[in-house]
């Protein structure tokens, strides 16, 4: 009588949530491909208008899926404006960033569904503009990794200048 071995455990699952701007999305798609090539299941969270672009960049990676959450309709933004490239003016960047905070509930529902379906993420990697994802991740006890999307040198300069400003303010 042959004994069957238990099925292999599912691969680790990472969720990637880029800010809706090409310069922020592309580096996170590169990270998604790198994680996928190392055997992780990756879910990229995006909006309906951004999904075709993301799909075109990851279609060759079978372990990367896309989950679409709605972008909120807000009075300050033109209808269908779901990417900074479609903003008629950069003066609308602040309302655009504020609108992303209204994506919290659909994102929470998505994470809840993943957890309930046995595909609990080992982490969420989200853009620094989506800082509200930290509270959501904490509520699910899922680590959140912040992505700044910039190189090491600009980040070091930013952190150095910021720390110098703090030191000046305290003296």
Catalytic residue numbers read: 24, 127
Please name which of 29, 81, 31 lies closest in space to residue 56, comparing C-alpha atoms: 29
Strands (E), the chain: 13-17, 41-46, 64-68, 123-127, 144-147
Distance CA 120, CA 118 (A): 6
- Take residue 129 and report the two structure tokens written for it: 């503009």
CA angle, 139 as apex, 17 and 58 as ends, to 5°?
Answer: 20
């Amino acid at each position: 009588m042959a004994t069957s071995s238990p099925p292999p455990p599912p691969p680790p699952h990472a969720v990637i949530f880029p800010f809706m701007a090409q310069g922020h999305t592309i580096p996170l798609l590169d990270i998604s491909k790198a994680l996928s090539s190392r055997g992780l299941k990756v879910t990229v969270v995006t909006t309906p208008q951004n999904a075709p672009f993301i799909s075109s960049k990851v279609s060759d990676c079978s372990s990367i899926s896309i989950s679409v959450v709605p972008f909120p309709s807000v009075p300050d933004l033109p209808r269908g404006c779901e990417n900074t490239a479609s903003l008629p003016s950069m003066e609308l960047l602040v309302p655009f960033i504020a609108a992303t905070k209204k994506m919290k509930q659909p994102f929470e529902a998505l994470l809840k569904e993943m957890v309930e379906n046995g595909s609990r993420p080992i982490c969420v990697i989200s853009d620094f503009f989506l800082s509200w994802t930290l509270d959501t991740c904490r509520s699910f006890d899922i680590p959140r990794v912040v992505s700044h999307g910039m190189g090491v040198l600009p980040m070091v300069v930013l952190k150095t200048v910021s720390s110098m400003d703090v030191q000046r303010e305290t003296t």
